């Protein structure tokens, strides 16, 4: 029996695990009490590492779809040869944009995908790149990039030192943090209150996090930007502003805020004007405070504007870049704002190209995934005819999921790099599996850029993949070689040397000849980073290296052309009139849909693990008692929820933890689909809430999908008495 320590790869918390294993099997998983960041904390997802490794449905050999639609096992040579036979001729005949790529959420947790996905995209040369980021987080990263200069310059709350925390549209006790890497959030929040601080949560639901807070304010979905502007209005008009240095555009923001008085926004937000004024004064008067907004604020019609206003408030209250406020992480590797002297830079440019059908602008090299179905279904030059998905399930996770599901069936060719035959990959012609998490190296390259403390932790593989299985980075290199015209038998070692040489050139370091693959690239990035670490340093510290608390970094962290914080970016300022018009829109009695996250769920891809789906059914519709009575629902009914794009039926729960006029349904479910090989998930299928999400409903600034505040119709569905079960 061997014991090793590694970082959990399943969510943004980066918790340390202690793993026992023997003879190719994981036998026990517990929290690593000596981990420098998580200190023994673990959630159910981490424990499920054992079930994922042993899952009989997890793919271990390539799969090829036969003419009758079934899958059969294939050798790696056969699978790659088929891709080489089909994909390059398609690109030759129809152009590089005829192949789209979709990057799923798990790819952000994969060192190989993070490092070798970029060469693949470059080799394909397509403008049709899509990812899960345009359904959840790009509004925040866009606002941060315009204000601070890079996509990873996202200020995070200094949880361990703040005195006042305002949380909007986030439930970190269930999500374990999002664009805020923070293991054991519950303990960190309780510490705020223990030292005399205060936590306020603004959310249409009384979440687990809200129940830990000192105060919870219900807000009508989609109106967070109005509230945030009203808070700024009070702070400016009452002379409470103590803005930080290095700001440009302060006077312009002050002028914009004048229209958003508490009285003007109270009707639309559902929050009393007196409560808004009190909240603004408490925020401005706290010794150190931080405003934090996440999924609920980004996946709405004003996602970018709301994300911007979060940091406007941090800046004008003097809490940007100071201990206890919202601060910039200094990551050990890969972060653009840790290289060089800082200050002025190139900034960012958006809209460098647009989607063919709807003209939606590019953001961070991607197009909004809400238009992927358009690009597949609409004939003409540049039509998407092939798709590569990497660790993604867009049929479940993107808007108007039913339409995209049908569109994928019409593709000429599709390749998926994935561990399951899921709702999306069942359409693929070839599925290339990846090793389990314990069979590959791990380092949270992206997530450490948003950590509430500077840390670094590397996890070597605990065991080899099954005989013959390619490492994930080798699979991505093989695809790169194929689309680059080198065929299925290319020299992957030589290609990897070319990539390593380029990474070395960009970072000003020489590759270590003793290393290969992701380890070699990571080592160079660490050596070029602000702490001058090496991979050997991390290997010698199995519990991680604590690099200290967050420290003030302005102006060094800025990469804007002016070298200042751009408090009034033109692209966002132009959206303010649209927001001002929304103040006059009041709820008319209709229902709106919001999402929900559960600690035991991680989007769609972990529902095949018995540990995480056991217990009470979690894919239910939450309704306030007033709405239950209004729709005549009784115990045992199902509820029908419908929108312009589709309808679903599911059980309901009556609860005062959701405000009247709102129905809350968790995302990531809907596994009752033919052709899927997820036996456990099929027994806990649930309903796909993204059937209701409208691909035409976007935040116009970023193109991000709107998943919160969607207008829906609700009705009772009577069940036979024998099937009815009370949920009251």
pLDDT level of residue 726 (50, 70, 90 thresholds): very low
Q: Domain with 695 in it: what CATH number? A: 2.40.40.20
Residue 12: inside a domain, yes or no?
Answer: no
**Joined tokens for residue 674:** 């033919």
Which residue, of 497, 531, 551, is where some domain finishes? 551
Alpha-carbon distance 473 to 505, whole Å? 20
pLDDT of residue 538: 98
In a domain, 486, yes or no: yes
pLDDT of residue 375: 98
Confidence of residue 257 (pLDDT cuts 50, 70, 90): very high
Which pLDDT score is estimated for 727? 46
pLDDT at 72 over 70: yes
Residue 724 has a pLDDT of 46
Query: What pLDDT, on a 0 to 100 scale, did the predictor assign at position 176?
Result: 85
Instruction: Supply 384's token pair.
Output: 């998407």
User: Crossing angle for the helix pair 76-94 and 472-483, nearest 10 degrees?
Assistant: 40
Q: What is the pLDDT of residue 342?
A: 59
Interval 454-480 mean pLDDT: 97
Predicted TM-score (pTM) of this structure: 0.96
Domain that holds residue 465: 60-130+331-551
Residues 369, 409, single domain; the answer is yes
On whether both 416 and 545 belong to a single domain, the answer is: yes
The pairing of beta strand 215-217 with beta strand 198-202: parallel
For 94, 134, 327, 429, 681, the CA distances from 678, given in Å and listed in that order, are 35, 26, 42, 18, 5
Residue 275: give its domain's CATH number. 3.40.228.10
635, 494: one domain: no
Residues 102, 118: one domain? yes
Centroid of chain to Cα 528: 27
If you average pLDDT over residues 581-605, what whole number do you get?
83
pLDDT digits 0-9 by tens, 657-704: 999 999 999 999 999 999 999 999 999 999 999 999 999 999 999 999
Please name the residue that has the structure tokens 């036969």: 66
Q: Provide the pLDDT confidence category of residue 344 given band limits of 50, 70 and 90.
A: confident
Total structural domains in the chain?
A: 3
d(CA 32, CA 342): 36
> Are 169 and 122 part of one and the same domain?
no
pLDDT of residue 393: 96
Angle between helices 492-507 and 472-483 (to 10 degrees): 100
Please check the confidence at residue 589 and state whether its pLDDT lies above 90: no
For residue 169, the surrounding DSSP H or E stretch is none
Same domain membership, residue 517 and residue 455: yes
Q: Are residues 505 and 636 in the same domain?
A: no
Q: What is the pLDDT of residues 375-413, one digit of tens each?
A: 999 999 999 999 999 999 999 999 999 999 999 999 999
| One domain for residues 604 and 500 | no
Domain identity same for 212 and 335:
no
Are both 406 and 539 inside the same structural domain?
yes
Tens-digit pLDDT profile for residues 15-70: 999 999 999 999 999 999 999 999 999 999 999 999 999 999 999 999 999 988 89
> What is the per-residue pLDDT across 110-145, written as a single tens digit (0 to 9) for each?
999 999 999 999 999 999 999 999 998 999 999 999
In a domain, 571, yes or no: yes
Residue 167 φ/ψ, nearest 5 degrees: -115, 130
Per residue in 683-693, pLDDT (tens digit) is 999 999 999 99
* Local structure of 250: helix, strand or coil: helix
Is residue 614 domain-shared with residue 568, that is, in the same domain? Answer: no
605 confidence band (pLDDT: 50, 70, 90):
confident
Residue 728 in 3-state DSSP? coil
Give 298-358 as a 3 state SS string. HCCCCHHHHHHHHHHHHHHCCCECCCCCEECCCCCCCCHHHCCCCCCCCCCCCCCCECCCC
- C-alpha distances out from residue 609 to 26, 52, 115, 423, 679, Å: 15, 7, 28, 16, 10
Instruction: Output the domain CATH number for residue 523.
Output: 3.40.50.740
Residues 301 and 358 in one domain: no
């Amino acid at each position: 029996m061997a014991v090793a320590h590694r970082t959990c790869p399943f969510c943004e918390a980066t918790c340390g695990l202690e793993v026992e294993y023997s003879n190719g099997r994981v036998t026990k998983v517990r929290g690593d009490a000596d981990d420098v960041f998580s200190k023994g904390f673990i959630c159910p997802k981490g424990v499920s590492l054992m079930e994922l490794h042993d899952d009989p449905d997890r793919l271990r050999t390539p799969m090829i779809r036969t003419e009758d639609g079934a899958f059969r096992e294939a050798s790696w040579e056969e699978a790659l040869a088929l891709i080489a036979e089909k994909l390059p001729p398609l690109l030759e005949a129809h152009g590089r944009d005829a192949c789209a790529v979709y990057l799923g959420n798990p790819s952000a947790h994969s060192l190989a995908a993070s490092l070798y996905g970029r060469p693949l995209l470059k080799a394909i040369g397509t403008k049709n790149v899509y990812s899960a980021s345009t359904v959840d987080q790009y509004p925040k990263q866009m606002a941060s990039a315009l204000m601070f200069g890079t996509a990873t310059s996202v200020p995070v709350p200094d949880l361990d030192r703040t005195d006042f925390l305002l949380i909007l549209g986030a439930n970190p006790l269930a999500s374990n943090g999002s664009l805020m890497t923070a293991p054991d959030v519950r303990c960190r929040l309780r510490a705020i209150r223990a030292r005399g601080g205060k936590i306020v949560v603004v959310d249409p639901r009384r979440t687990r996090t809200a129940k830990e807070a000192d105060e919870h304010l219900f807000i009508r979905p989609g109106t967070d930007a109005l509230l945030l502007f009203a808070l700024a209005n009070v702070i400016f008009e009452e002379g409470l502003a103590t803005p930080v240095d290095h700001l440009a555009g302060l006077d312009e923001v002050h002028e914009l805020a004048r229209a958003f008085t508490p009285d003007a926004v109270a009707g639309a937000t559902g929050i009393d004007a007196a409560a808004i004024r009190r909240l603004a004064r408490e925020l401005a008067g706290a010794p150190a405070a931080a405003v934090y907004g996440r999924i609920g604020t980004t996946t709405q019609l004003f996602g970018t504007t709301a994300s911007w206003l979060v940091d406007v408030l941090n800046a004008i209250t003097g809490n940007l870049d100071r201990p206890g406020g919202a601060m910039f992480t200094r990551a050990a590797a890969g972060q653009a704002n840790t290289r060089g002297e800082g200050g002025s830079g190139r900034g960012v440019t958006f809209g460098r190209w647009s989607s063919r059908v709807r003209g939606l602008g590019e953001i961070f090299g991607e197009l909004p995934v809400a238009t992927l179905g358009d690009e597949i279904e609409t004939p003409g030059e540049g039509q998407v005819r092939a798709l590569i998905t990497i660790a993604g399930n867009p049929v479940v996770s993107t808007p108007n999921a039913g339409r995209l599901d049908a569109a994928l069936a019409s593709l000429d060719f599709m390749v998926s790099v994935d561990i399951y035959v899921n709702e999306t990959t069942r359409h693929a012609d070839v599925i290339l599996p990846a090793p389990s998490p314990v069979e590959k190296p791990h380092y949270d390259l992206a997530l450490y850029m948003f950590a509430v403390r500077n840390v670094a932790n590397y996890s070597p593989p605990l065991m080899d993949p099954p005989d013959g299985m390619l490492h994930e980075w080798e699979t991505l290199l093989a695809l790169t070689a194929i689309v680059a015209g080198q065929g299925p038998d290319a020299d992957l070692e030589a290609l990897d040397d070319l990539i390593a040489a380029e990474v070395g050139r960009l970072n000003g370091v020489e590759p270590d000849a003793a290393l290969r693959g992701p380890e070699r690239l990571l080592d160079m990035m660490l050596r070029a980073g602000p702490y001058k670490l090496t991979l050997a340093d991390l290997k010698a510290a199995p519990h991680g290296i604590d690099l200290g608390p967050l420290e003030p970094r302005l102006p060094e962290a800025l990469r804007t052309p002016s070298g200042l914080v751009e408090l009034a970016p033109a692209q966002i300022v132009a959206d303010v009139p649209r927001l001002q018009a929304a103040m006059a829109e009041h709820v008319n009695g209709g229902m709106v849909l919001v999402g929900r996250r559960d600690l035991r769920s991680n989007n769609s891809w972990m529902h095949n693990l018995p540990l995480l789906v056991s217990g009470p059914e979690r894919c239910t519709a939450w309704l306030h008692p007033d709405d239950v009575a209004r729709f005549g629902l009784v115990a045992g009914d199902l509820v029908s929820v419908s929108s312009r794009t589709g309808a679903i039926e599911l059980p309901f729960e009556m609860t005062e933890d959701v405000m009247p006029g709102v129905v809350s349904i968790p995302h990531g479910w809907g596994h009752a689909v033919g052709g899927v090989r997820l036996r456990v998930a099929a027994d806990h299928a649930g309903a796909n809430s993204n059937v209701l999400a409208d691909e035409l409903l976007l935040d116009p600034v970023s193109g991000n999908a709107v998943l919160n505040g969607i207008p829906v119709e609700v009705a009772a569905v009577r069940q036979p008495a024998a099937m009815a079960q009370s949920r009251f």
